[in-house]
Structure 1
Amino acid sequence: MSFSAITDGWMLHHAGGDIPASFAAIPAHPIPATVPGVVHTDLLAAGLIPDPYVDDNEALLAWIGHNAWAYETTFTWSPDGETVHDLVAEGLDTVAHVTLNGVEIARTRNQHRTYRWRVDGILREGENRLRVEFASPIAYAREREAVLGERPHSYEHPFNAIRKSACNFGWDWGPALVTSGIWRLIGIDAWSGCRLAAVRPQTGVGGDPRRLRVEVEVQREAAGEVAVRAEVAGSVLEAVVAAEATSAVLEAVIPDAELWWPRGYGAPALSSLVVTAGPDRWEKRIGFRAVEIDTTPDDDGAPFVVRLNGRDVYVRGANWIPEDTFFSRITRERLAERFRDTTDAGMNLLRVWGGGIYESDDFYDLADENGILVWQDFLLACAAYSEDAELWDEFAAEARDNVTRLAPHASLVVWNGGNENIWGWVDWKWRPRLRGATWGEGYYQELFPGVVADLAPATPYSPGSPYGFSRYVHPNDPAHGTTHIWDVWNEVDYDVYRDYRPRFVSEFGFQGPPAWSTLFSVVHDEPADPYGPLMLVHQKAVDGNGKLERGLGSHIAAPRTIDDWHWATQLNQARAVAFGIAHFRSLHPLNQGAIVWQLNDCWPVISWAAVDSHGHRKPLWHALRAVFADRFASFQPREEGLVLALHDDHDDEWTGTVALRRLTLDGVERARVERPVRVAARSAALLEVPEEVRTTEDAAQEVLVAELPGGGRAFWFFAEDPALALDPEPVSVSVRAVDGCYEATAVARAVAKDVTLLVDRVHPAARVDRALVTLLPGESAVFRIDAPAGLDAEAFGRAPVLRSANDLVPVARPALR
């Protein structure tokens, strides 16, 4: 039994549609193609199109999605001793016509499914010709919209009429580079007798993390019993698939199994599960855990508590979008880098958002290995969807396919019906437009929960995000279930986060530009300008740069130069999100988590991401590492006065003495008190700040500092930056090359807020280990910089690489625009 991928000899043909005159050479002859791949990457590799990410090439290449394309290859096959041969396609994007040796095999309409077709009798000894022709996905989506009925959706194209990644048609952080291609493996699967058609292991059955249930489906050539055997953690389970049956269930408690825990709660232990049926063998590492989501109503509304192995897990997470617009370019190595970003920032959950894709096995394997929880959306987002049989049947097959594929993963702890669609039905004026037409409720309340209950009953299901877990509360009511907070960023200042008392925040965020080197590798306005035409190609949010500018509010003075604009908006993004998370954590246990929008980018763009598409950790990432620390404290205003809110998300209690100091900005201590603190493990506490330290003599000249037990600090400035008497040049920096890297030592002569080295401005490959460091007078901090040897080391210690909040203080010069 074997699977042979067909990866060689592929050629790409233009198969129909209009091509701009400037690209007239493209249809003249086929070009070599890479499978897995898509049309854009093949044309790029052949030198026939420019880089789609640069300047306004997105618009220049929009015609590709309006055209038909075909992939064709010849491959050699000879009898191999097996009696059944299936052509298996793990991913066709999207509207495909498949032929083998001139015989039609299938017509497919779903990017998110795996297909299997028996080809015995068509496959022949010697040379075989395989052709996959793709119709224009844009034309198909519009055609089906006309048949199914127009329904509300975001952006230009009717992505809700086709089963293709929604964001591939463009989003407020992504380009409209509409792809076609064989985006996952295709090949011949040869077998005899019987094969394992599906293996669905579930741990945590009945709430016992060591109880394992393995449902096995078999396909066979002829009737007859099939013996099934499973081995894991020293235990053996056996069953028989009866002659008239196609499946069997093996279930037992595995006494020697080690439990799987998310990061911060224990080791993510994995055990090898081997399942055999006749000659076929299936092997996967699984984790033993029991998961539940507690939404039981209480006096404050209804919580959303993730519980693993009987323990409540405070969620510190991020939303995940596809790592590249061209999905076939996403490698395990790139995913591993993003998981390092996730764990290094102290996160414990990634939400795979509903406008993207069901990610590769590599993604979920890495989540299992790193102890990162996965919240998985079904792929519906920001739109109303027809429930006609045409789409219903596709959704049903897609759901069963992907729930089966992902069932073995311990990390997957929530299946979610979709993104913002229930909220859209209630609030976005859909009903007058729909006039009674279906909009997707049947998927969220009937189809998807039924599939999960049938195929993965030990994994919780949520109908949507946001969702209040009652038909009688608003789906985005912060007091019930999950909520999205988007008035901040879109409409109001980020201090409005403090007006919320959310039980669980599954989306919120604030924009900022990517690293300087990332942004200006693709934007070439002369001169550089936040409102330059090419810059705005890489700002997809409606009035995004206007919102960035207004979002500075009273927090940061209007920037004077493009350098200041870049730094000020990056800094403000970091502060806005950190402000929100600090407030949410101060509400624990009322609040049980936050999932920031978003971790990553799919191309170089001004966006909500913490890590840009070139892998640079933005200041936001460094802010997340601080506010997602296991032990965190922040000053918070309350009706009774200023308090120090402490959250101990750790297995040990947090005890010691807090020193509260009111200082001048040049370091003179005006008042000091010490207070004992004791915060129980996985709990929170509020410490009232005494009047002598919370009352300032001069708001422009003073700062309140909390020195925390075990190290760490919290700061409270009595005024916003433009009103503070900040020294505009508060630090001196010395740099030396050491141990294959560089070390920059910053020494403060006055309070220096948010000292940061934008090291990519020296070299695009440079990375630095810390940012947003606030120093008191006389203090120093060492920044470790990984960068190529032979650079001008002193450049790391001077402007525009060296930045702080201090150098944005107002001066008597006109602001930028």
Structure 2
Amino acid sequence: MNHYRPLHDGWTVAPVAPRDAVPPEVAERTDPVPATVPGCVHTDLLAADLICDPFLDDNERDLAWIGRTDWRYETRFEWPDEERPAPGQVDLVCEGLDTVARIEVNGHQVAATANMHRRYRFPVTSLLRAGENQLGVHFTSAYQYAEGVREELGDRPGPYHPEPYPFIRKMACNFGWDWGPNVVTAGIWRQIGLHRWHTARLDQVRPQVTVAGGEGRVDLQVSVIRAESAAEEPVTVTAVVRGPVYPGWDGEPGQRPAALDGQRAEVQPGHVLLGPTQRHATVTLAVRDPARWWPRGYGDQPLYELEVQLHDRHGEELDRWQRRIGFRSVRLDTTSDADGTPYTLVVNGVPVFVRGVNWIPDDAFVTRVTRQRYAQRLDQACEANLNLLRVWGGGIYESADFYELCDEKGLLVAQDFLFACAAYPEESPVAEEVAAEARDNVLRLAHHPSLVTWTGNNENIWGWHDWDWQPQLRGRSWGAKYYFETLPQIVAELDPTRPYWPGSPYSGTPHRHPNEPGHGSMHIWDVWNDVDYTHYRSYTPRFVAEFGWQAPPAYATLRRAISDQPLASDSPGMRHHQKARDGDGKLWRGLRAHLPAPRDFDDWHWYTQLTQARAITVGVEHFRSLRPVCMGAIVWQLNDCWPVTSWAAIDGDGRRKPLWYALRRMFADRLLTIQPREEGLVLVAVNESAEPWSTEAVVTRMSLAGEPLAKHEAPVTVAPRSAVTLPLPAPVASAGEPIRELLLATAGEERAWWFFAEDVDLAYPTAEYDAVVSRSPAGTQVTVTARTLLRELTLFPDRLDPAAEVDEALVTLLPGESATFTITGVTDLDETALTEPPVLRCTNDFPS
């Protein structure tokens, strides 16, 4: 059988050129720097204490030289003479090289590469020698390469000009983004090793999994590579499906279908014999009545083990390929209707309302993102009641860990091809790399049931229409051929069971504006950039793939990353960790439209985080209230790649902002929301569960002191996966004194609030409450009992200890009501500080 030997030990890295750009402390070092593989040069220099942490203060500015320097990685390894297969072959397998690399074995050049997003395999049998061998990888500056391609092909418009990311197949946000640092990396960023094999090996295994009626099918397209010395040897391909298995399931036996582990589900013949000249085989496996894989909230996530083996004529196993698959169908419903063109994801025949977030690389240095870190972030997504992550086109195709965990957790994945916010050349050498990269990653990822859509790009079609590109391009290519020809052809060939959409946003036809609300998917960015968040309610979209509002990270994250004394919204470190154009101005504009002027930094921090949570709540509740006309809302964004003021719900240190708690509430299966319509206020009940929701809705108009002024009661029955709208009668929907009144709607345990005026105008009572701190096995508990209205009560224990986390936020209480917050992670916190600002906040904790 074949043998894989990882080559991850003994690496060093050293600068090559230009030497005069390298700081003396690095250039004058006599020994190369120890290197971690997989890794990158920034993290190696950081580990060697040769650079400051680029995530702290404005250190990023002092490290730009790294991306403009060539680097050489080198290691030595022993290769015993008896391991040289005869007949046979040894290949150097590179899972990820970042980015412009020249590979050498024992001084002989093996290959040159220029794509971070591809896997490579190179024959090196003749270059290996008994005893010590040397492997070197020379990385040319990504800037030098990309700027050279740009000069050859002509400039293209983009948002961060003159950054040249459209001219190199590398993670675009490495060059900086409006939420990310400019840290242009180089290095061996995924596994590298030697693959020793003989006779033949599996080259490609492409399963197409379908399910219809009571039968699941796996149509396997298998190709093999033969060793030159074994060209006349017949080989046999054998495939088998076993299962289902339920990863992570620890419930009682019998609560799920009995596992079928060990049962073979295959059609006859169960194997295919390939003659001496044949390279391709097709094997079809059938599974009767397979357990369906469902998105979370719609059912279970059973997975089946798919195994393909390659044997020689004597029955010796030559190679093996194993993956987990799931049986489910997926399609996009874009059939025109009275409201335009829907964009509805349909899984196993069931329309799914997408409760989603956009995903960016979880660290600017992506090799630091472990499976454990993926699991933590994806668990946070599940806990926030999300069911889909859109992998944004300016990052990377994530590691197998990410997609495997999504398979297990039932998180749907909408995958962008890696193009974002710029015009991309369609000429050589970019075009060839794009096609090879797309083929490689479609083949790598297509077996994952969680992956439900491929999308051609992020905002590039929109950019061509609206961002003044056309006069700048002067007829030069901008990427259209990729989105409308190359990529859909590759998906149709290699992954025909999964839908492709040319862009995000896209309206379904080149003849219609790409960001038309009534057709296909759209992005909403006039809100945040130009207008207030209440403007979300002016849209009736079919599907919203991006919308967001900024806020700073958690206080503990800021204090770790920024040393400003005092910390202020416009202090130097805060300004450097705000990458959005006029970001601070937009934060202030959004704050002033609703809230009083902050008295200090603590107020500003609280108000901006509160505004972010409110803005997204307005958008999501409005979009959900439009169901089924609107069938998805994907918030920008879940996560951050460093400590920064951004649109994220989880900051760069993994701490949850108030927005995360708001997402958990607004994306819950059952949602009660009060919405303004042309005819007046309405109550909307949304039910995304599989069971009908029958309840009594009570809507009360009351004073800010909690005194009832008018009441309306009505029975509500909401069918599964649907929404019901109830007009509210004038006595409750119209305020006598708008600045002194509110609405509270209840339906069982669900609540919805409506205030008739903005906070700056409301006659709020000064916040009064009683707070008691206690200890329990669950953690430190803070119980707050309201003596007045307390709006959006929130606890920030990380201000006292960076390890502290709290279970709830943004709780509104009427006089006499109580709420208990549980703090975990620490046990010794100042009880007095826990019960007063700036740790305990509510919207009305300012003088009236």
Could you tell me the TM-score, scaled by structure 2's length?
A: 0.94
Change (3 A) 1:48 1:139: same
Measured after TM superposition, the shift of residue 24 of structure 1 is: 5.1
The answer to whether the 8 Å contact 1:493/1:553 transfers is no
CA drift at 1:655: 0.9
State how far apart, in whole Å, the 1-side matches of 2:817 and 2:272 are.
68
1:754 matched to 2:755: no
**Pick aligned residue for 1:297 from 305, 326, 336:** 336
Match of 2:208 in 1: 202
Amino acid at match of 2:280: S
Pairs within 5 Å for 1:619-698:
619-698=658-737
Asked whether the 8 Å contact 2:60–2:182 carries over to 1, the reply is: yes
**Of 32, 35, 38, which aligns to 1:36?**
38
Q: CA deviation at 1:21?
A: 4.6
1:246 equivalent in alignment to 2:293: no
Asked whether the 8 Å contact 1:26–1:48 carries over to 2, the reply is: no
Render the CA deviation track for 1:461-513: whole Å, top value 9, x for unaligned.
01110001112210000111000000000000011101100000000000001
Alignment of 1:341-360 (within 5 A): 341-360=380-399
SS class of match (1:14): strand
**Post-superposition offset of 1:209:** 7.4
Alignment coverage as a number of residue pairs: 809
- Whether 1:7 aligns to 2:8 is yes
1:182 maps to 188
Deviations 1:510-558 (A, max 9, x none): 0001000101211222222211222111000001011000012431112
Which residue is 1:154 aligned to? 159
Identity of aligned residues (%): 52
Aligned to 1:115: 120
Contact 1:209–1:309 (8 Å) recurs in 2: no
Equivalent in 447, 450, 453 of residue 414 of structure 1: 453
Of 350-359 and 690-699, more deviation after overlay is shown by: 690-699
Report whether the alignment pairs 1:598 with 2:673. Answer: no
Deviation digits for residues 7-31 of structure 1, max 9, x if unmatched? 1111111111233556455554311
Give the superposition deviation at 1:810: 6.3
Match of 1:784 among 810, 822, 829: 822
CA distance in 2, matches of 1:406, 1:504: 25
| Alpha-carbon shift at residue 345 of structure 1 (Å) | 0.5
Distance between the aligned counterparts of 1:223 and 1:559, measured in 2?
A: 80
Aligned residue for 1:258?
291
1: CA distance, partners of 2:214 / 2:788: 57
Instruction: Please give the per-residue CA displacement for 1:26-63, whole angstroms capped at 9, x wherever unaligned.
Output: 55431111111111100000011111100110001111
Judge conservation of contact 1:215–1:247 (CA < 8 Å) in 2.
Answer: yes
User: Which residue of 47, 54, 57 maps to 1:55?
Assistant: 57
The alignment's C-alpha RMSD in Å is 1.5
SS where residue 457 of structure 1 aligns? coil
Aligned to 2:245: none
User: In the alignment, which of 440, 444, 457 is matched to residue 479 of structure 2?
Assistant: 440
1:716 aligns with 2:754: yes
How much does 1:777 deviate? 1.0
**What is aligned with 2:101?**
96
> Does the 8 Å CA contact 1:648/1:679 hold for their aligned counterparts?
yes
Q: CA deviation at 1:81?
A: 6.5
Q: Given the alignment of the two structures, is residue 126 of structure 1 paired with residue 131 of structure 2, yes or no?
A: yes
Q: What is the aligned partner in structure 2 of residue 542 from structure 1?
A: 581
1:612 and 2:634 aligned: no
- Pair 1:775-2:813 in alignment: yes
User: Is the contact made by 2:741 and 2:755 (CA closer than 8 Å) also made in structure 1?
Assistant: yes
Q: Equivalents in 2 of 1:460, 1:224: separation in Å?
A: 39
Q: What is residue 704 of structure 1 aligned with on the other side?
A: 743
Q: 2:367 aligns with which of 309, 316, 328?
A: 328
1:726 to 761, 764, 769: 764
- Secondary structure of the residue aligned to 1:601 is coil
The residue identity in structure 2 corresponding to 1:577 is I
Measured in 2, the distance between the counterparts of 1:76 and 1:20 equals: 33
Does 1:515 pair with 2:554? yes
Q: SS where residue 738 of structure 2 aligns?
A: coil
| Offset from partner CA, 1:279-298 (integer Å, 9 cap, x none) | 21111111111100111122
- Contact conserved, 2:780 with 2:824, CA < 8 A, in 1? yes
> Do the aligned partners of residues 534 and 247 (structure 1) sit closer, same or farther apart at CA in structure 2, a change above 3 Å counting?
same
What corresponds to 1:164 in structure 2?
170
1:217-232 paired onto structure 2 within 5 Å: 217-221=223-227, 222-232=231-241
Deviates more, 1:75-84 or 1:560-569: 75-84
CA distance in structure 1 between the partners assigned to 2:470 and 2:779 by the alignment: 60
Asked if the contact 1:92–1:110 (Cα under 8 Å) also holds between the matched residues in 2, the reply is: yes
**3-state SS of paired residue (1:203):** strand
Match of residue 352 from structure 2: 313
State the distance in 2 between where 1:35 and 1:635 align: 54
For structure 1, which segment, 781-790 or 746-755, has the greater mean C-alpha deviation from structure 2 after superposition? 781-790
**Which residue of the partner structure matches residue 530 of structure 2?**
491
Partner of 2:260: none
1:389 is displaced (CA, Å) by 2.8
Q: Take 1:612 and 1:63, find their aligned partners in 2: how far apart are those partners? A: 27
Moved more, 277-286 or 163-172: 277-286
Deviation at 1:258, TM superposition (A): 1.0
1:75-122: CA deviations, max 9, x gaps?
111233742110011111001111000000111100000110010010
What is the CA deviation profile of residues 207-263 of structure 1, one whole-angstrom value per residue up to 9, with x for unaligned ones?
987222222121121244332121114302433334333222222431142110000
For the residue of structure 1 that corresponds to 2:615, the secondary structure is helix
Aligned position for 1:268 = 301
Cα contact 1:257–1:271 (8 A) shared by 2: no
CA distance in 1, matches of 2:613, 2:621: 12
CA contact (8 A) 2:215 2:287 kept: no
Secondary structure in structure 1 of the residue aligned to 2:121: strand
Specify the code of the residue in structure 2 equivalent to 1:212: V
Letter in 2 for 1:86: D
Tell me by how many angstroms 1:392 deviates: 1.1
1:285 aligned residue: 324
Q: Which of 10-19 and 617-626 deviates more?
A: 10-19
Q: 1:534 to 1:328 in 2, by over 3 A?
A: same
Unaligned ranges ≥5, structure 1? 812-817
The amino acid across from 2:83 in the alignment is: D
Q: Which residue among 758, 773, 779 is the counterpart of 1:741?
A: 779
Match of 1:74 among 73, 76, 83: 76
What secondary structure sits across from 2:136 in the alignment? strand
Cα displacement string for residues 347-394 of structure 1 (whole angstroms, at most 9, x for unaligned residues): 000000000000000000000000000000100101111111311110
TM-score by length of 1: 0.97
Deviates more, 1:350-359 or 1:254-263: 254-263
Deviation at 1:200, TM superposition (A): 1.7
- Identify the match of residue 220 of structure 2 among 214, 232, 255: 214
